[in-house]
Chain A
Amino acid sequence: MSVTAAEVGAIASRTIDPYRLDRTDDEELDELPFGVICLDAEGTILRYNAAEARMARLDRADVIGRSFFGEVAPCADTPEFRGRFDDYVAGRVDAPVLRFAYLFDFKFGAQDVEVELLGLGEGRYYLLINRRAFRPPREGLDPGFPAPRQRELVPAEQDVGALRDSREQRIVRAPLQLFEALLRTCDRVAPKTWEVFCREWGLQWGRRAVVDLEAECLERTGESLRERPMREVVERLVAYLEEQGWGGLTVDLASADAGGIVLELERSALVAATRRSDQRRCHLLAGMLAAVFSHLAARRLHVEEVCCAGTGHARCEMLVVGMTRRDTVGALAREGTDIPTILDRLAGPPDGRPTS
């Protein structure tokens, strides 16, 4: 699947082959920024990825095992959707892949989608769902036709105090002391693992952030993030981090001339959560930002926290660089080299290549 390979390769350096979807684990499916649903021949949901959950505003755990056409998406229980699915399952479609356009009706709005249906044997049928446009809710529909909201699908959750954000995605309010507790655990069990653990955690989290940011951009502009002007994308990223409480990010785009983009972070939530030490603390955010910038660039980029407010600096400073400069920047940061000096080093030709 060359196209999705371009998307996924940007953040994961690996590709997804549609004929291997059945051998792809849930984590890989969750890295795809478009919807993936696996059904059996009766339409029971077997798999459901994070992007689809985000777009449909439903929890994966609550849709697995339910009837796609009967419970989760009655708006697809039509001749144009279910009829095609049934024809495909019955072998009445003379093509390995069935593609069609459709309009999903949700109670919060309608979505123009393009659907690809692919059977992978043993009663497993994959729906790849690409959003094309977002519209207001259609009027005059039978009340039971649009897809139900999460609270309608699982009404009992309101009794147990489940929290949801404005997109109806379930959230947990984690106190900052959680990070302090995690740090203490890391220090006791395996010192020096904080950086590795948090960077990997950040990368995973950043891939979820990409889905959120792309969905928001598509809803607002009809285009993907990569197609939007860099300044606008940065403003959206800064607002996203602020909304989530990570801190105030400033992006110095002019520094790209020197071969790296300088990021400054004030009020870092991670610094606030952990005690002062001689160790940098914001590796989670560095990993998260690396995933986002890599997605935007359609190639892997590295984000290094060069200095941290947690070690006594006025603010946290990070540097976005190409992967071939990761080791150099990492070594300089560990030596305590400041950003201007690192940029001076980077201002030379990369890897000693002549500039002519």
Chain B
Amino acid sequence: MAGPALAAPALKGCSDRDARRPAGELLARVPWERRRPDPERMTAEQFLSVLPG
């Protein structure tokens, strides 16, 4: 739409990047059955992106 692109990041660090990066962008290239989610190293968003559907 016309007008400035308002960037109102909800909370520090997450918003601008999240807006441009689809959830699980990299993981999406891996067949879901071969992924091994690691809750210690993966962020919450990365981890949950493994759930199909």
**Nearest residue in A to B4 (C-beta to C-beta)?**
A97
Q: Are A3 and B12 in contact (CB under 8 A)?
A: no
Given contacts A7-B15, A297-B23, A322-B52, A230 and B10 within 8 Å (CB-CB)? no
Per the bound structure, the CA–CA distance linking A234 and B32 in Å amounts to 22
- Indicate with 1 or 0, residue by residue over B16-53, a CB within 8 angstroms of chain A CB atoms: 10110001000000011100110111111111111111
Query: How close is B5's CB to chain A, nearest CB, in angstroms?
Result: 7
Q: Is A18 an interface residue (CB 8 A)?
A: yes
Q: Which of A181-189, A217-225, A277-285 lies at the interface with chain B?
A: A217-225
Q: Known contacts A32-B10, A34-B10, A224-B13; is A230 also within 8 Å of B51 by CB?
A: no
Q: Tell me the A201-225 residues at the B interface (CB within 8 Å).
A: 214, 218, 222-225
- Contact residue range for chain A? 35 or more
Q: Across the interface, which residues of A come within 8 angstroms of B41, CB to CB?
A: 229
Across the interface, do A218 and B4 meet the contact criterion of CB distance under 8 Å?
no
Interchain CA distance A214-B7 in the complex, whole Å: 19
B3, B9, B45 — most chain A CB neighbours (10 Å): B45
Contact B45 A298 (CB under 8 A): yes
Contact partner of B44 (CB less than 8 A), chosen from A131, A226, A325, is A226
CB pair A230 B23 closer than 8 Å: no
A96 at the interface (CB under 8 A from B): yes
Whether the pair A228, B7 counts as a contact (CB closer than 8 A) is no
Chain B interface residue count, Cβ-Cβ cutoff 8 angstroms: 38
Contact status B44-A228, CB under 8 Å: yes
Tell me the complex Cα distance, A335–B53, Å. Answer: 22
| Contact pick for B11, options A224, A320, A325, A356, CB 8 Å | A224
Known contacts A131-B11, A224-B13, A350-B53; is A230 also within 8 Å of B47 by CB? yes
Q: What is the bound-complex CA distance between A253 and B13, given in angstroms?
A: 25
A3-B9 contact, Cβ under 8 Å, with A256-B51, A298-B23, A325-B53: yes
Known: A7-B15, A223-B12. A116 touches B6 (CB 8 A): yes
B32 to chain A, nearest CB (A): 7
Cβ of A323 within 8 Å of any chain B Cβ, yes or no, is yes
Checking A2, A32, A114, A356 against B5 with a beta-carbon cut-off of 8 angstroms, the contacting residue is A2
Question: How distant is the Cα of A233 from the Cα of B32 in the complex, in angstroms?
Answer: 23
Which residues of chain B come closer than 8 Å to A95, judged between CB atoms? 4
CB distance from A121 to the nearest CB of B (A): 13
Q: Given A227-B13, A229-B42, check contact A34 B8 (CB 8 Å).
A: yes
Task: Verify B12–A224 contact, CB threshold 8 A.
Answer: yes
Candidates A4, A19, A227; contact of B43 at CB < 8 Å: A227
Q: Is A101 an interface residue (CB 8 A)?
A: no
In this complex, which of A128, A131, A261, A297 has the most chain B Cβ atoms within 10 angstroms of its Cβ? A297
- Known pairs A230-B46, A256-B47; list 9 more (Cβ under 8 Å): A2-B7, A18-B8, A130-B8, A253-B37, A253-B39, A259-B53, A261-B51, A297-B44, A320-B51
What are 11 A-B interface contacts by the 8 Å CB criterion? A2-B7, A3-B18, A97-B6, A130-B11, A218-B11, A224-B14, A253-B47, A256-B50, A257-B37, A259-B32, A296-B45
What 4 A-B pairs have minimum CB-CB distances, sorted nearest first?
A: A322-B53, A324-B53, A297-B48, A224-B14
